[in-house]
Amino acid sequence: MGVQLKSSSLSPTVDHILDSRSHNSCLTLDAVQKFASRVKYLNLLLLSLMPERLCRGHLRRPLEADQLHTGNDGTAFYPSPINFKNATDGRPISFSTTFVFAIVPVYPNMSGHGIAFALAPSKELPGSMPSQYLGLFSKSDNGQASNHVVAVELDTVKSVDFADINANHVGIDVNDLKSVNASPVAYFDSREGVLKSLQLISGEPMQVWVDYDGGEMKLGVMVAPLNKPKP
């Protein structure tokens, strides 16, 4: 899936965010390591992540037993801002990143609202709310152009307020949780020549590729099981 993003959608300097929202879930550090390998000047201070964010080499958002039925969220930020605009002509810079995740619900077939990969102008998102807001926006600022937030949501709950297509989809959000483009989670198996569905809350590790073409101003997102090549 893909969507065209004009340069005005991207702030000149933004932080890359990995945002974990599901109860008792982990995000692998592959996302951090692989992205760093593409941006040679980026200094990743992994030690700045709190120890409780890590579980067996993964980023984790832990919740206590009494928190399982309340709205909670957690975020992991790159500590240094990344420039996404050409200083000479102001055009957006192309980028590619990939990360591996697994959503492991405490109870089968039940989870939080999902996770999101986001680009934002600051590590702080004042007033952002959990649950269907994915820790990105709030009731008052959702949909405002001044947010300057672009996100790829891996959504596991159908939110009628945001016109979600189902409870298992990938969406591209621009300043708003009403996705500008959304698709059911699936990948094309080139070996069998068929489109196969994926369940985000299956507990199985999956890989996400996010590619932005600055020349075409298009953002593309692909998802596949961890052991499969990029579709």
Distance separating alpha carbons of residues 177 and 163, to the nearest angstrom: 9
Strands (E), the chain: 2-4, 13-20, 26-28, 54-55, 58-60, 74-77, 82-83, 95-102, 114-120, 150-155, 169-174, 181-184, 186-189, 194-197, 206-213, 218-225
pLDDT recorded at residue 221: 94
In this structure, what DSSP letter does residue 120 have? Answer: E
AA identity, residue 165:
I
Strands (E), 43-94: 54-55, 58-60, 74-77, 82-83
pLDDT recorded at residue 1: 67
Tell me the three state secondary structure of residue 35.
Answer: helix
Is the distance from CB of 208 to CB of 103 less than 8 angstroms? no
Distance separating alpha carbons of residues 92 and 99, to the nearest angstrom: 22
- pLDDT tens over the chain, length 231 residues: 655 555 445 544 443 333 333 333 333 334 333 433 333 322 233 323 333 344 444 444 444 444 444 556 666 667 777 888 888 888 888 989 888 888 888 777 777 778 888 888 877 776 666 677 677 777 877 778 888 888 899 999 899 888 999 999 999 999 988 999 999 999 999 889 999 999 999 989 999 999 999 888 899 999 999 989 998
Which of 84, 86, 153, 152 shows the shortest CA–CA distance to 121?
Answer: 84
For the stretch 12-50, what's the b/e string if a residue is b when 16 or more beta carbons lie within 10 angstroms of its beta carbon? eebbbbbbbbbbbbbbbbbbbebbeeebeebebeeeebe
Tell me the three state secondary structure of residue 202.
Answer: helix
pLDDT recorded at residue 187: 96
pLDDT recorded at residue 102: 86
Distance separating alpha carbons of residues 72 and 60, to the nearest angstrom: 13
User: In the chain, what are the domains?
Assistant: 2-225 (2.60.120.200)
Distance separating alpha carbons of residues 193 and 114, to the nearest angstrom: 29
